Structure 1
Amino acid sequence: MFWVLLLLLAWAVTGTACTRLCLAAVHAAAADADAREHDLTLYEAAFLSGGPRRVADLTLVSMARQRRLLLARTGWATVVDPRGRDEMERTVLGAIGPEGQSRIAPVRAGAAAADAVRGLGDRLVDAGLAVPAGARSGIASGVRQVQSASVAVVALGVIALLAPAPSEMPRHLVALWFALPLALSLSCLAIARIEVHPYSRWASPAGQRLLGALSRGTGGTDERTYLTSVAVRGINAVGEPDLRAAFAHREQRHDGWDTDPRD
């Protein structure tokens, strides 16, 4: 009855993995159920669309269009007006540093990791509009565990069928018994695909609904509409060639040959 031990192991692996995935999905769904509808600010829309770095990009673009920050084509940021009008602008100015000049890449990274942006994310999570970091990693980890469990069940079934030990159970019935935990794991993956798939990396379904309503109102030509497009779509929404060129350097590493922004 060696195959029975393998079957019990298959059920244990499958049951544990499916339970963890279900608990992670329930936790994420509970956060969405507590969502409170409200009008998104530009910073909130940026966070839900692209996370902390999108918030930094939006702030840089906004300040550049107000001529309070100069973003050079060479990838440098220069402070023109050192007075921040809100917490995010003060965060960007702090990331640039007291010298008033810095490359955009470290400014972007520093602002994205600042307390102000983390606080914004925490408030969105509390409102049920953003996916908690634990839920994002928990669901992804749960799906991987169920996938691994499916592979393990198949492997255990093959071992049971190929085992030389004599068994009174016909082989096709042994295979049928192992098909049960496999069906459970595959069903769990299918349900997760349907129920969990609507979650983006940052926005919960409630947050995505608000973003969808916000996106439908980006057809105007005023400044807020422009910044809303940047918040939702990122740097791809920037129309000015010089500004786009400045952000083309935002992911590049320092190579020891930095160009002075005034060149």
Structure 2
Amino acid sequence: MFWVLFLLLAWAGLLIACARLLKAAAEPAQPAPGTAAARHHHELNLYEAAYLAGGPERVAELTLLSMQRQRRLLLAYTGWATVVDPVGLDPYERSVLGAFGPDGQEPVTSVRAVAARDPAVRALADRLGEAGLALGDGAQREISAGIRSVRQATGLVIAMAVAALCVPAGQSTNTMILCWFALPLILALGCLAIARVEGHAQSAWASPAGRRLLVELGRERAMRGSLTAVALRGLRAVTEPELRAALTCGRRGRIPGQRGH
């Protein structure tokens, strides 16, 4: 029955890892009444929705698309952007315009990357974090670390099962030993499956309170092709093929040379 020690080690490692993941996932809960989140307005503006749904790059993409629809910026299907109106109406537009050189033309990928790192977007993230609507960097790291711990525990369970098969089992059969180790393995794989589904279904940037506001906004205003839909769902909500090409060009390969718009 020496293999039972390996089983206990497998359970111990797995339970510790699962507890870490559950703790990390439970921490970004909705704050109690009277906190900044409770006092936050009930409707998100588009920039806030874009950040909660897709992070800093989503804010930059929304700003680019908004300025293009106002004819203040031209986005070519080749992946280049050209400034038409050099005056920004808000901090996010100014962050986009600040990414252009003196000739007023830059690849969309470069503009998006620079705008996403702008202090205005960082301030937006801090404000949403203080309101309890966005996950802080620490919360995101803890959740990722918890998932890694469960993956490592899964490997530990398998290793302990192999070790258990290599020691004298007394009257226990290999089938019985594998059945006992199947229980922690099922739990580990179930946790990883749930974490994967939750990760696809929910934003990695929004807290539970923020996700509730995103759902409400989607029900009320997310018409196909609208800026609200883009803020919530990203570039897949862009209905114009040329605009989608402009915003996605360069993400999976080389950006074509600029030959004019």
**TM interval, short-chain normalised:** 0.7 to 0.9
Matched, 1:137 2:141: yes
Matched, 1:97 2:101: yes
Matched, 1:249 2:249: yes
Rounded Cα–Cα distance in structure 2 between residues aligned with 1:188 and 1:254? 40
Contact 1:199 1:205 in 2 (8 A): no
Q: Which one is further off, 139-148 or 96-105?
A: 139-148
1:107 deviates by 0.5
Q: Residue 204 of structure 1 aligns with which residue? A: 207
1:86 deviates by 0.6
Structure of higher CA gyration radius: 1
Q: Residue 227 of structure 1 aligns with which residue? A: 227
**Aligned AA for 1:182?**
P
TM-score by structure 1 length? Answer: 0.77
Q: Which one is further off, 138-147 or 194-203?
A: 194-203
**Aligned AA for 2:208?**
P
The structure-2 alpha-carbon separation of the partners of 1:108 and 1:3, relative to structure 1 and needing over 3 Å to count, comes to same
% identity of equivalent residues: 48
Contact 2:58 2:231 in 1 (8 A): yes
1:175-200 CA distance string (max 9 Å, x none):
49965982895498289659966643
Contact 1:146 1:185 in 2 (8 A): no
1:12-55 CA distance string (max 9 Å, x none):
42343233223212323366996435320110111122221111
Q: Residue 122 of structure 2 aligns with which residue? A: 118
Q: 1:52 aligns with which of 38, 41, 56?
A: 56
Matched, 1:216 2:219: yes
Rounded Cα–Cα distance in structure 2 between residues aligned with 1:122 and 1:88? 15
1:222-251 CA distance string (max 9 Å, x none):
xxx932222123233334454334224252
Unaligned runs of 5+ in 1: none
Rounded Cα–Cα distance in structure 2 between residues aligned with 1:3 and 1:240? 62
Unaligned runs of 5+ in 2: none
Rounded Cα–Cα distance in structure 1 between residues aligned with 2:126 and 2:56? 11
Map of 1:128-207 to 2, 5 A cutoff? 128-164=132-168, 170-171=171-172, 175=177, 182=184, 185-186=187-188, 189=191, 199-207=202-210
1:91 deviates by 0.2
Rounded Cα–Cα distance in structure 1 between residues aligned with 2:198 and 2:237? 29
Q: Residue 80 of structure 1 aligns with which residue? A: 84
1:144 deviates by 3.4
The structure-2 alpha-carbon separation of the partners of 1:253 and 1:119, relative to structure 1 and needing over 3 Å to count, comes to farther
The structure-2 alpha-carbon separation of the partners of 1:159 and 1:130, relative to structure 1 and needing over 3 Å to count, comes to same
Rounded Cα–Cα distance in structure 1 between residues aligned with 2:9 and 2:122? 43
TM-score by structure 2 length? Answer: 0.78
Rounded Cα–Cα distance in structure 2 between residues aligned with 1:107 and 1:32? 39
**Aligned AA for 2:260?**
P
**Aligned AA for 1:259?**
Q
Rounded Cα–Cα distance in structure 2 between residues aligned with 1:163 and 1:215? 58
Contact 1:124 1:130 in 2 (8 A): yes
The structure-2 alpha-carbon separation of the partners of 1:194 and 1:254, relative to structure 1 and needing over 3 Å to count, comes to closer
Contact 2:30 2:209 in 1 (8 A): no
Contact 1:105 1:252 in 2 (8 A): no
Contact 2:153 2:188 in 1 (8 A): no
Q: Residue 17 of structure 2 aligns with which residue? A: 17
Q: CA RMSD in A?
A: 3.7
1:161 deviates by 4.2
